[in-house]
Amino acid sequence: MSGSMSDVFLSFQQHLDNEQDVREEIRLAVRDLEQRARGILTLLQGIHQQTGISTIPELCAKSKAQFATVREQYQVLKSKVPEGQYYRFHDHWRYLTQRLCFLVALTVYLEEERLVEREQVADMLGLCTEQDKGFHLDLDDYLSGLLLMADELSRFAVNSVTAGNYTWPMKISVFVTEMNLGFRLLNLKNDNLRKKFDALKYDLKKVEEVVYDLSIRGLKPSGDTDAVPKSD
């Protein structure tokens, strides 16, 4: 084998070995984060319980406390990713980050009844939003997280009616409608995000059905409902 050829192949072999090491470490860091995310998800599932609505403030406080660990774990992950190569390994934490965005968004919504900003999510996860600063919160991931939340909220609307609370469906209806409005401003490409956005209309439909059921039975809570579109 001529000299240049063996050099070429040797250096590529080194490149492969190196990459494998990096991936290995990233995988470990991501696994820890996934575990934590599952913990928070299980915690927040409490809202669907019969008595869940009254425990919302507690659940949110607990969930917020858990994000402190998430922040630390993201710092670990951050340190494993070589500079300028965020998107090279993005697939390893893409889904995880979407899930965590969803959890942050849900926590904030339950507490403050508003849509969480991207900066705030990034802050809760210990990340930044500018992509030139290295490890950041990708816009796609944030938006996917919001769409995951819409799905969860449509479920929550149903369950809150079962639990005898008729105000949440009203609020959720306004909220999801607004979110839908926002998403319709985006010119989405035919990719994963678009696919998730396409599912948003079903969540909206579900919530609207719940509101309809309540209305025709006269179960609509009086007072704020007629002027509902002006939330807060």
Partner 1 sequence: MTGEGKTHEKGHHTRGHDRGGHWSSRNRQRKHDDRRHHEDRRNQDEKRDSGVDESLPVVKMFRAFQLELDDRYDRYERLVKLGRDVTIESKRIIFLLHRIIRNEDKDKILAEANRKICDLNTSALREIAMELRGQSYYLYLRAFSPGVQEYVEAVTFFHYIKDGHLITLDDIHKALVFEEQPEEPESDTAAAESTSAGENPPATFSLEITPLDYMLGIGDLTGELMRKCINAVGQGNLEEPFMLCSFLRDMYAAFLTFGNTAGRDMSRKVWTLCQSLRKVENACYTIKVRGSEIPSHMLADMFNTVYPEKESPDCG
Q: Does 164 bind partner 1 (CB under 8 A)?
A: no
Residue 49 is a binding residue for partner 1 (CB under 8 A): no
Per the CB < 8 A criterion, the answer to whether 160 and 53 are in contact is yes
Shortest distance (Å) from residue 53 CB to partner 1: 24
Could you count the other beta carbons within 10 Å of the beta carbon of residue 215? 12
Query: What distance in Å separates the CA atoms of residue 212 and residue 219, rounded to the nearest whole number?
Result: 10
How far apart are alpha carbons 214 and 205 in whole angstroms?
14
No. of helices (H) and no. of strands (E), the chain: 7, 0
> What's the closest the beta carbon of residue 90 comes to partner 1, in angstroms?
8
Least distance to partner 1, CB of residue 20, Å: 6
Q: Binding of partner 1 at residue 83 (CB under 8 A)? A: no
Binding mask 106-125 toward partner 1 (x if CB under 8 A, else -) reads: --------xx-xx-------
Residue 54 is a binding residue for partner 1 (CB under 8 A): no
Q: Give 172-215 as a 3 state SS string.
A: HHHHHHHHHHHHHCCCCCCCHHHHHHHHHHHHHHHHHHHHHHHH
Answer for which of 22, 76, 128, 188 binds partner 1 (CB under 8 A) is: 188
**Is position 227 an interface residue for partner 1 (rule: CB under 8 A)?**
no
User: Does 143 engage in binding with partner 1 (CB under 8 A)?
Assistant: yes
Judge whether 102 and 152 are in contact, CB under 8 Å.
yes
The site for partner 1 (CB under 8 A) is made up of 1-2, 4-9, 11-13, 15-16, 20, 84-88, 90, 114-115, 117-118, 131-132, 139, 143, 178-179, 181-189
